[in-house]
Amino acid sequence: MHNSTNSPADQAAGLAAPVARRSFLRYSGAGLAVGGLWLAGCSKDDDTTPDAGFIDVGSSDIGILNYAYALEQLEAAFYTQVVASFYTGATAAEKAILSDLKDHEISHREFFKRAITTGRISDSLQPDFSNIDFTQKTTTSGKMGVLNAAMAFEDLGVAAYNGAGRFITNNDYLALAGKIVSVEARHAALIREMIGVNTFVANDVVDLATSSTNNLSGTGSVTGNVTGTGMERSKRPAAVLATANNFLAAGSKISANSFV
C-alpha cells in the first residue's frame, strides 16, 4: 500500500502541472488534471491478494480506480519505451504523435497516483514487452509491431473504461472516467488510422452489423443498411486483465476479483 501525505491542495497543484505541448492532442487530455478525483482518498480499501502471485485491485470505487491505475501504468510504460528509441523509418509526424500519446498516458498515470491516497496498489508494476518488436512499425514476424501493440492497448483501454463504468457508484468518478475514456478513444482511432486509412472504427470495437461494402473499409452503404447499436464494445475487468496480464511481468499481474 502506498499512502500520500500531500494535502488536497498540494495534490491538485501537482495534477495541474503542465506537460510539454506539441500538437492538438495535448489539449484533449488537459482538463483531466483539474478534476476532483483526489477525493478517492476519503474512502479506505485495503489491498487484497486472493490469487497467489497477483495484485488484487480491491473493491468498491477505490478498486476501480486501482484497476484504471494499473492499465495506465502499463500504457505509460509502453509509450515511454516506444519514444526512447523509435521504430525503423518513423516519420517526424509519427514521432510527434507517439510522443504526445506518451505524455497523455503519463499524465493519466500520475493523475491516479496522486488521486488514490489510501489503498493504492503498487506504483511500480513491471511490464513484460517481450512479445513486442519495438524496432518495427507493424507486425512483420512472430512479434507485434509498435502500432499493432499500441492499437491493442488503446482498444483495450477504451473497452476497459466502458466495462468498468457499471461498477462505479460515485457520480464524480463516473464523470471523470468518461472524460478519460474519450481521450483513450481518440488515441485508439488515431492509431488505427496510422495503420490503415479509414479503419478508425470497425465491428471489433463498435457494435456494427452490415451487409455491403462502404468507403470506410467496413460494410454497409450510405443508404442505411447498417444495423447494430453503433455503440463502443465494452469488456468487464476479467476479460480485460486476461489480455493486459500478458504484458505484465510475474509479480505485477493484476486481478479484480470483486468485479465480475
Exposure b/e, 30-60, CB count within 10 A at least 16 = b: eebbebebbbbbeeebebbeeeeebbbbbbb
| pLDDT for residue 71 is more than 90 | yes
| pLDDT for residue 46 is more than 90 | no
> Which is higher by pLDDT, 8 or 101?
101
Average pLDDT over residues 105-132: 97
82: cell is 516506444
> Which is higher by pLDDT, 21 or 126?
126
Sorting pLDDT into bands at 50, 70 and 90, what band is 53?
Answer: confident
Q: Where are the extended beta strands (E) located within the chain?
A: 55-56, 209-210, 226-227, 254-255
Question: What tens digit of pLDDT does each residue of 191-203 get?
Answer: 999 998 877 777 7
* % of the chain beyond a pLDDT of 90: 64
Exposure b/e, 141-157, CB count within 10 A at least 16 = b: eebbbbbbbbbbbbbbb
Main-chain dihedrals φ then ψ at residue 248, nearest 5 degrees: -120, 140
Residue 205's pLDDT is what? 79
| pLDDT for residue 232 is more than 70 | yes
| pLDDT for residue 136 is more than 80 | yes
Question: 0.85 cut: is pTM over it?
Answer: no
Average pLDDT over residues 75-83: 98
Sorting pLDDT into bands at 50, 70 and 90, what band is 211?
Answer: low
| pLDDT for residue 137 is more than 90 | yes
Average pLDDT over residues 153-177: 95
Ordered structural domains, the chain, with CATH: 53-196+234-255 (1.20.1260.10)
| pLDDT for residue 166 is more than 90 | yes
Sorting pLDDT into bands at 50, 70 and 90, what band is 75?
Answer: very high
- Of 56-70, 162-176, 225-239, the one with minimum mean pLDDT is 225-239
As a whole number, the mean pLDDT across the chain is 80
Angle among Cα 115, 117, 123 to the nearest 5 degrees reads 80
> Which is higher by pLDDT, 42 or 181?
181
Residue 210's pLDDT is what? 62
Residue 200's pLDDT is what? 79
| pLDDT for residue 220 is more than 70 | no
Residue 199's pLDDT is what? 78
Sorting pLDDT into bands at 50, 70 and 90, what band is 21?
Answer: very low
60 Rama class: left (phi>0) / alpha (psi -120 to 50) / beta = left
Residue 219's pLDDT is what? 46
